[in-house]
């Protein structure tokens, strides 16, 4: 990135306060700034660094008013954090620079690839697969038969996307995740063994979804497992067959959802949360780490914690009681001794 501050302010529709002829060529934390770097200030607890930073320019919110002198150029924007993120995506994403097909990749003659697509070495694009404009398929990726990848997607090394699965636009899938493996469906037989139930559905991932590394999203037994628009999944997450994850839900690492559960929109799932199957979870509920969810939650916007989950306030009260159990046991034992002595008398 090499851009003048005048050009940068115009790009961001921002207000320039300072020398617009200067240029920046990289980014840096505001507390670690140096000449030629662009920083941003979004959290007030970092404001003190604005007055000492050596960064050439700093993005700030339009509402920000400095409380002391500073030695940098300010660019005021509606949302400094969002503007900084946009610049990182535009100028600092090396994945966007890859175009073309590397030797040792395989692309079936019936596959359809859009403009400015990249396919890395040892990637395999099966028959009938479709890859949209400007999408990047990194080495050792497998795209099964009739897989559809939207535009502006990044599929990192080692990802496996099984047959008939659909990935929307602007999606990112990190290394070694598996999309469309068979759901965990087995019918018990009279002799105690199990017979596999064919998993005939697929997985649909809508637009603007990011999936971390080493995640598994199982295909539906029938129909579709669906990851709705804007969902963000951390690493090491399990999504079982016929699950639906609502729009803009976020899930932290090592959490899992059992089959046929439906999560609403804007749900927040902490790390190592386990959600049982065939449940309905309403919009905007939040689950603390290591919680166990085994019941439907029909009210919106609640906070939950514990196993089995309780509303956060009740869970904290229960935790306080649990911590006192040794003391309470000692008191009960003492009372029992007093009662025993009283009976003997």
Rg (CA), the chain: 27
Residue for token digits 């963000």?
Answer: 232
The whole-angstrom separation of Cα 72 and Cα 31 is: 13
The whole-angstrom separation of Cα 159 and Cα 166 is: 14
The whole-angstrom separation of Cα 65 and Cα 61 is: 9
* SS3 labels along 256-300: EECCCCEECCCCEECCCCEECCCCEECCCCEECCCCEECCCECCC
Looking at 49, 241, 248, 278, which residue is catalytic? 241
Is 25 one of the annotated active-site residues of the chain? no
CB-based burial label for 233 (10 Å; 0-12, 13-18, 19+): buried
Alpha helices (runs of H) in 92-131, residue ranges in sequence order: none
Instruction: Cite the active site residues.
Output: 241
């Amino acid at each position: 990135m090499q851009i003048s501050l005048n050009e940068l302010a115009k790009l961001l529709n921002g207000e320039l306060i300072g020398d617009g002829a200067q240029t920046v060529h990289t980014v840096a934390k505001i507390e670690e700034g140096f000449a030629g770097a662009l920083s941003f200030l979004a959290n007030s607890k970092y404001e003190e660094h604005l007055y000492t930073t050596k960064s050439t320019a700093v993005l700030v919110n339009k509402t920000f008013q400095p409380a002391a002198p500073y030695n940098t150029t300010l660019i005021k924007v509606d949302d400094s954090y969002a503007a900084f993120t946009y610049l990182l995506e535009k100028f600092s994403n090396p994945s966007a620079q890859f175009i073309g097909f590397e030797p040792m990749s395989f692309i079936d003659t019936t596959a359809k690839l859009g403009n400015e697509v990249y396919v890395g070495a040892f990637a395999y694009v099966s028959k009938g697969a479709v890859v949209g404009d400007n999408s990047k398929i990194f080495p050792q990726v497998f795209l099964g038969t009739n897989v559809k990848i939207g535009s502006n997607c990044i599929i990192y090394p080692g990802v496996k996307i099984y047959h008939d699965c659909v990935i929307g636009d602007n999606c990112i899938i990190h290394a070694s995740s598996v999309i469309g493996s068979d759901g965990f469906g087995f019918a018990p037989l009279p002799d105690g063994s199990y017979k596999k139930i064919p998993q005939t559905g697929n997985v649909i991932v809508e637009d603007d979804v990011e999936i971390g590394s080493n995640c598994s999203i199982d295909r539906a037994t029938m129909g579709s497992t669906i990851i709705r628009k804007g969902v963000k999944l951390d690493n090491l997450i399990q999504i079982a067959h016929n699950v639906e994850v609502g729009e803009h839900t976020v899930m932290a690492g090592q959490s899992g959802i059992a089959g046929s559960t439906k999560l609403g929109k804007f749900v927040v799932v902490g790390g190592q949360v386990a959600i049982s199957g065939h449940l309905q979870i309403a919009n905007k509920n939040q689950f603390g780490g290591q919680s166990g969810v085994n019941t439907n939650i029909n009210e919106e916007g609640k906070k939950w914690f514990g196993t089995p989950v309780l509303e956060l306030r009740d869970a904290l009260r229960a935790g306080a009681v649990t911590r006192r159990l040794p003391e309470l046991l000692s008191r009960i034992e003492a009372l029992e001794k007093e009662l025993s002595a009283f009976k003997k008398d």
